Structure 1
């Protein structure tokens, strides 16, 4: 791959990492908001939504970190 393509993919992975962090933190906030609800349905809705957002955000961060590491490793191997 060309160096410009690798740099663009690294940049995209960094953006996904930041977006994943935002979604993860939003899921934590929703999970914390579960404390202030009154009914069982509200508790379960907030819990499911919070856990789902945390899973999506964590998965995005995990995948982005793997891609960043892989691309940087390939970039250094190509330069040798």
Structure 2
């Protein structure tokens, strides 16, 4: 793989990592907002939405970190 392609994929993974962090933060805010709801149905809807966002954000961060690790490892092997 060319260096330009590798750098572009690393940059995209870094963006996905930041976006995953934002989504996790938004999920935590929704879980916190669950305290202020009145009915059981609202509690469950907020809990499901918050946990779903946290799961998606965590998956994005995990995938991005593994991609960055793989690409930087391959990049250093190519330079030897």
CA RMSD of aligned residues (A): 0.3
Give matches, 1:26-45, under 5 Å. 26-45=26-45
- Render the CA deviation track for 1:3-61: whole Å, top value 9, x for unaligned: 00000000000000000000000000000100010000000000000000000000000
> TM-score normalised to the size of structure 1?
0.99
Provide the aligned length of Structure 1 versus Structure 2. 80
Moved over 6 A (4+): none
> TM-score normalised to the size of structure 2?
0.99
